[in-house]
Amino acid sequence: MITPHTPTDPHPYTAQARKPVQPRRRPPNASAPAPAPAPAPCFRRQLRLATRRQLTASGIPAGTIASRSRPGGPWQRLLPRVYLLQTGPPDHRQRALGAVLHAADPASDPLSGDTAALTGGAALSLLGIPEAPRTPADVLVRSPRRPAGTPEVRTLPTARWPQTITVAGVPSTRPVRAAADYAARATDPQQLRAVLARVVQSGWCHPQDLHAELRTARLLRHPQVRAAAAELLAGVRSPAEAQAREALTAAGLPPPLWNARLYTADGAFLAAPDAYWPDEGVALEIDSAEYHYTRDAWQATLRRRLRLEAHGILVVSATPSMVRDTPTQVTSAIRTLLTLATPRPTPPTAALRSHHQLLLFDREEGGAPVQVAT
């Protein structure tokens, strides 16, 4: 006969499982285990980065730093004397700040921007310029200091120390200086043109300020820098517009106004076509697929063209690939409209505002004076 189990009867296996476990006793002469080292107090404001000097100043022995930054450890050696106090990979902000920590005077506050500041393409990349290269990270340092660089960090001693700002927690030069420092070392003319155009188009600096910075740095002696600066002062704001400007010049067409703001007779803003010939009332619109992913964006472009045509402006539309691959077709269409527009009985009703002529270069910088409209 099977005897029913009552809840008050302890199960034999349960009774064994509940046998208390005796804690392991430490030998009388044994020392307590060493606590995990605390990171430097500054690591929080330094994006979880610290220099070797900062870590040792916080009381962390050199041996502990070495052991914790071994492969598989909780820290990483990001650069010589710079450690990342996390296990995951660094993001672009941490890499940028790590470059500044590496180049800064060890005795100074690296976040002050007094002895080291990010510049060039890496600084522009932090501002959201997608065409700007992140590596190698250019870091300005005050002369006569010349800290050694690495494949990831290029230190640039300078006696012309700029005003610095903080971008995403990283001491950086102002955008206009960063753009000039990038231009000084750019090797690809097309990338240089794209980066400088994006900096101006994004509103980080005015083309006249950039021109002044390039002139101060004596960079206008380089043909590719001088050409890019000329495009920006002429009003060009994209590589496609720069290619169109070259095609128009090669075709012998009259120079247009670039990105001129047009207004109606009652003062309402009408549009800012990429290129505009005010005497003939002809506009060139370069429409990139990058800005027409959605139906609303495409309809906005069509509405802008309708507004221009409603005010008597003849519009030539092209894509960047057309300007690049078949420029003669684009210039032929523009030439035809310019010819047809000469005796027009109904001139356009749009007006320009705030357009004046600027002296682009003087003879001391290797070129005859050129008048451009902005």
| Tens of pLDDT, residues 71-111 | 999 999 999 999 999 999 999 999 999 999 999 999 999 99
The pLDDT value recorded for residue 298 is 81
The pLDDT value recorded for residue 102 is 98
For 130-146, what is each residue's pLDDT tens digit?
A: 999 999 999 999 999 99
What are 119's strand-pairing partners?
A: 138
Nearest to 81 by CA among 57, 53, 108, 109: 53
The answer to whether 210 and 199 have CB atoms below 8 angstroms apart is: yes
CB atoms within 10 A of CB 129: 24
The pLDDT value recorded for residue 9 is 46
Task: Give the percent of the chain with pLDDT over 90.
Answer: 72
Q: Which residues of the chain have pLDDT under 70?
A: 1-41, 289-294, 342-347, 353-374
Measure the CA–CA gap between 49 and 72, rounded to whole angstroms: 18
**What residue spans in the chain does CATH classification 3.40.960.10 cover?**
238-358
The superfamily CATH assigns to domain 238-358 is VSR Endonuclease (3.40.960.10)
Number of C-alpha atoms within 13 angstroms, CB side, residue 307?
Answer: 17
Measure the CA–CA gap between 279 and 256, rounded to whole angstroms: 10
